[in-house]
Amino acid sequence: MPEKVTIPISFFEYSADYARPIFAALMDRAAIVQRIFDALLPWKLEIDNVEPITTGKPSEQGVKFKIPGKKVTFLFGAGSCKFTKDDADWASAEETISILSAALGALKASTCAEISEQNVAVALHIQPKKAKFIDILKPFLSPAILDLEGEAVKTGASILKWDKRRVVLDGSGALANALFLKFERGFDGGASFLEIADQLKADEDALFKMLNVEEEL
């Protein structure tokens, strides 16, 4: 039977690159900020949670919106935008998509930005109920590496990268007796949020099956 696990810490990140720079997002951006602010008002965005970023390279500058009650941030700049959510789970996925859709929709409407590439990442700290985390992790570590010393390994990591996909499996640095799993994917600019969500769910299910774990809800 799969090992029952809990996921005390989780994180979701979405980023999108524009087909060409949007210089209005770097210079005269008041109209863009107003439109995004209005779009996010249903989730109780407040003026004190709108922060201009004016340091760093032009590609790093922009405006950040925070909605503490939903643990989300949205940052737009001249070359890209980024959305993050702490404590992400599938129960809140529909609302997360709604917030992201509202912010990105307002950005597109006010700038005519064309998305060329989308990237998503999910990070999970997974805590087994009974098993030791190293026993779940060990089958995915190289036997040659494990045999370097004549004693049991304490932790290890496995990192795999493809053209548009990356998976990291490690011991958690934040929780005792826990795994850290991060999976990332790239999508073309035309992929819908539903397509992205379906693919992420399929990726998570396949990785949990590989690890032989099951979340205890």
pLDDT > 70: what percent of the chain?
100
Write down the H helix ranges in 112-213: 133-137, 143-146, 193-211
- Looking at the fold, whether 101 and 26 belong to one and the same domain comes out as yes
Phi, psi at 208, each rounded to 5°: -65, -40
Same domain assignment for residues 101 and 160: no
Q: Are residues 152 and 180 in the same domain?
A: yes
For 75: left if phi > 0, alpha if psi spans -120 to 50, otherwise beta; the answer is: beta
185-203 pLDDT tens trace: 999 999 999 999 999 999 9
How many Å apart are CA 210 and CA 131, to the nearest integer?
Answer: 16
Tens-digit pLDDT profile for residues 26-66: 888 999 999 999 999 999 999 999 999 999 998 999 999 99
Asked if residues 171 and 180 have their Cβ atoms less than 8 Å apart, the reply is yes
Residues 71, 46 within the same domain: yes
- Count of the separate structural domains present in the chain: 2
Which of residues 68, 85, 113 is at a domain's end? 113
128 shares its domain with 182 = yes
Domain coverage including residue 217: 1-14+118-217
Taking 90 as the threshold, does the pLDDT of residue 25 lie above it? no
Q: Does residue 215 share a domain with residue 127?
A: yes
% of the chain beyond a pLDDT of 90:
89
Report the sign of the C-alpha dihedral through residues 108, 112, 118, 123, in that order.
negative
Alpha carbons 68 and 76: distance in angstroms, whole number: 18
CA 184 – CA 182 distance, rounded (Å) = 7
76 and 106 belong to one structural domain = yes
- In which band, very low, low, confident or very high, does the pLDDT at 142 lie, cut at 50, 70 and 90? confident
Q: What is the pLDDT of residue 24?
A: 87
Do residue 43 and residue 4 come from a single domain?
no
Same domain (yes/no): 165, 151: yes
Which of 113, 130, 158 marks a domain boundary? 113
> How many other C-beta atoms can be found within 10 angstroms of the C-beta atom of residue 57?
8
Overall pTM surpassing 0.85 (yes/no): yes
Report pLDDT digits (tens) over 69-118. Answer: 999 999 999 999 999 999 999 999 999 999 999 999 999 999 999 999 99
124 and 188 together in one domain: yes
| 146 or 205: which leads in pLDDT | 205
The amino acid that residue 21 corresponds to is: P
> Of the residues 113, 138, 171, which one is the last residue of a structural domain?
113
Residues 58 and 25: beta-carbon distance below 8 Å: no
| CA separation, residue 123 to residues 86, 170, 183 (Å) | 10, 11, 7
Does one domain contain both 49 and 108?
A: yes
Tell me the residue type at 62: G
Residue 44 phi/psi, 5-degree rounding, is: 65, 40
Q: Does 189 lie in the same domain as 128?
A: yes
